[in-house]
Amino acid sequence: MQLIDGHWQLAGHDVEDLADQHGTPLYLYDEQTIRRQVKRFRDAFSAFDHRIHYAMKANSNRDVLSLMKKLDLGIDAVSIHEIRLALEIGFDSHEILFTPNGVPFDELEQAIELGVRLNIENLSYLDKLGEAYQGDVPCTLRVHPGLVMPGSPRDATGWYQRSRFGIGGDQISEALRLIELHQIRVEGLHVHSSSMILDEQVFGAAAAVLLDLARKLPSVRAIDLGGGIRPPYRAEDDHPDLDALALSLTKPLEQFENETGRSLQLWFEPGRYLVAESGTLLTRVHVIKQLGDRIIAGVDTGFHQLLRPKLYDAWHEIRNISNPEGSQHLIDISGCLCEEDDLALQRSLPEVREGHLLAILNAGAYGYSMASTYNSRPLPAEVVL
């Protein structure tokens, strides 16, 4: 978003005009930002044979998905409904990786009928897959890395230990027994990452866990390091060092190839990294009120349309589109729900008045895709620029 001659513009469009045309609340997505992020990711890992599966749970807008198809990305899907949407958009079934959690086994059977790749994350699914298909259906195995990394960020290692996703280290021997019993062809190994995993030491260690297991499974031809790479949300946030992450993989992969004679493809499942910065949520101020020493701007959106601040205490930059050069004042931005619905507290913004248009930035990931019709309020419009 650029301020040109006193007017905020996004992808060459006047933001106020877009709000007037489509109404508010309104999600806007900048296609060029998505293209830039895909290129950055590809460039960083260009030294490796790699494949990107876009985590569509981050943003499943049909035009965004069509763009990912044009850019030759695959899809990471987590429900049969996401699979069907991806197929409608035009993705081939072999381009879709399905990682279900806690769903009835018949969802896996439907996915198999549709021809997508399965990512199995528990012993129950693995056993049922083997019994039902007797080795005729290949899969990827999702493992829990169980990492304890001295010297790495506490939130990163702590998250890895708490995560419920994947087959734990103490269950690997049983998984190997089931694989042998049912002659299951495991073609890939996967680890779930988190948006807080930015440390190359943790990233490389997760790859090492997968490679150790790949030595025991000769049918493995790919390791999947998930997503877990988030863009900055504040000006002072560090940008993820993709080059450092790539470098952390070089030695373990070379060592594996030298020992086994097998060359593995790298898979990634970025979602937030590719789309977060592309998105802006426009909202109109309808009420200014004072309560004690608080000045509160009541807007026409809320956590029903942007849940991240409520759910994760997430921080999103906010701009006053209507008064970009006004004097700065501290203000709280609160939503329209019959709940404690604060989107931002004590923000310094150019003076906000009733009728002003505000822009909430970095809202392209887990914004509309997590929205609801709580309080019977309709979903907002989405526009891809």
State pLDDT tens for residues 171-217.
999 999 999 999 999 999 998 765 545 566 677 788 888 999 999 99
Compute the radius of gyration of the chain from its Cα atoms. Answer: 23
CATH architecture of residue range(s) 33-272: Alpha-Beta Barrel (3.20)
What span, in angstroms and rounded, lies between the C-alpha atoms of 171 and 236? 41
Predicted local confidence at residue 158, as pLDDT:
47
Amino acid occupying residue 140: T
Could you tell me which CATH number the domain at 2-29+276-384 has?
2.40.37.10
* Distance from C-alpha of 112 to C-alpha of 138, rounded to nearest angstrom: 10
Encode burial over 200-221: b for 16+ CB neighbours within 10 A, e otherwise.
Answer: bbbbbbbbbbbbebbeebeebb
Which residues, given as ranges, of the chain have pLDDT below 50? 148-160, 196
* Active-site residue list: 338
Q: Which residues contact 221 (CB under 8 A, 6 or more apart)?
A: 187, 188, 262, 264, 265
- pLDDT at position 203, please? 75
**Pseudo-torsion of CA 361, 366, 367, 369, nearest 10°?**
150
Asked if residue 331 lies in contact with residue 337, where contact means CB atoms within 8 angstroms, the answer is no
CB atoms under 10 Å from CB of 191, counted, come to: 24
Spatial CB neighbours of 82, under 8 Å, sequence gap ≥ 6:
56, 57, 60, 75
What are the extents of the domains in the chain? 2-29+276-384, 33-272
Query: Looking at residue 226, what is its pLDDT?
Result: 87
State the pTM of this model: 0.92
Helix (H, G, I), strand (E, B) or coil at 244: helix
Q: Tell me what pLDDT residue 199 has.
A: 60
How high is the pLDDT of residue 189? 96
Quote the pLDDT of residue 182.
96
Q: What are phi and psi of 381, to 5 degrees?
A: -80, 160
In the prediction, which pLDDT does 200 show?
A: 65
**Residues 301 and 343: beta-carbon distance below 8 Å:** yes
Q: Are 277 and 286 in contact (CB under 8 A)?
A: no
- Least Cα distance to 267 among 191, 160, 202, 172 occurs for 191
Four-residue CA torsion sign, 168, 172, 177, 183: positive
Looking at residue 198, its pLDDT comes to 53
For residues 112 and 135, give the distance between their C-alpha atoms in angstroms, rounded to a whole number.
Answer: 13
